[in-house]
Amino acid sequence: MKTIIAMAILLTLMIGLPFASSQEKSKRTDAELKAIAKVGQLGGLAMELAQNDEHLEVSYQQRDQKLSDECLAVLKDLPGLVHLNLRGQEVTDANAIHLKPLTSLTRLHLENTKITDKGLENLHGLVNLEYLNLYGTPITDAGLVQLEGMKKLRSLYLWQTKVTDAGVARLKKALPQVEIVRGFELPKEEKKAEVKKDAPKSKDAAKPKDEKKPAAKKEEKKK
């Protein structure tokens, strides 16, 4: 009898697990659920970081149309948004204003976008950022100043931008913990050496020098 009761209790608990899980999911507000659905309608992707982590990651990387203000404006209704991927999209200084309220972000991909120093002013308050990718953007040293308050920043990608050694040094002084990646480029001297090394030889240089045949040499000796 005790065995039957125990099995009944276990069965009840097992049946109740999916229900409990769905209840956990339903803890999101109506505004959050609507925003998640809207991101999907706009060609983006919104998902939880992990099965046991309800923080959100949103990506518009796969969107095949021009990024609209609507795509970014909807993100303010996602307080649990920590990762945002806008790689390769047409993020401009004008629509970058929608990034300003996303203070929970820890990772932000802006590589190969049109954002400039002016647009970076909207990132000034994103103090929780740990990762920021600005590769392939036209930002300069003036834009880096906007990042100096990001005390949690650990990784910053600046390859193929217009920043200088002086600008990087200033930022590094303000944020000594950050790893700044600028890519790898050969110094001008080394580039010239590489070009000379790989340059094709002239036609005359390629031809072997004429050598006298052994027979001809013998004739010269006889003379």
- Sketch the domain layout of the chain as residue ranges: 26-198
Residue 3 has pLDDT above 50, yes or no: no
CATH class, domain 26-198, is alpha beta
pTM for this predicted structure: 0.72
CB 81 within 8 A of CB 103: no
Q: Give the mean model confidence (pLDDT) for residues 180-207.
A: 57
pLDDT digit string, tens, across residues 19-76: 334 444 458 999 999 999 999 999 999 999 998 999 999 999 999 899 999 999 999 9
Q: How confident is the model at residue 183 (pLDDT cuts 50, 70, 90)?
A: confident
Q: Could you tell me which residue, 155 or 187, shows the higher pLDDT? A: 155
What is the Cα–Cα distance from 99 to 126, expressed in whole angstroms? 9
Residue ranges of the alpha helices (H) in 74-123?
117-120
pLDDT in tens, 155-166: 999 999 999 999
Residue range 104-115: mean pLDDT, rounded: 97
Q: Sheet of 131-133: strands edge to edge?
A: 45-50, 53-59, 81-85, 107-109, 131-133, 155-157, 179-181
pLDDT of residue 217: 47
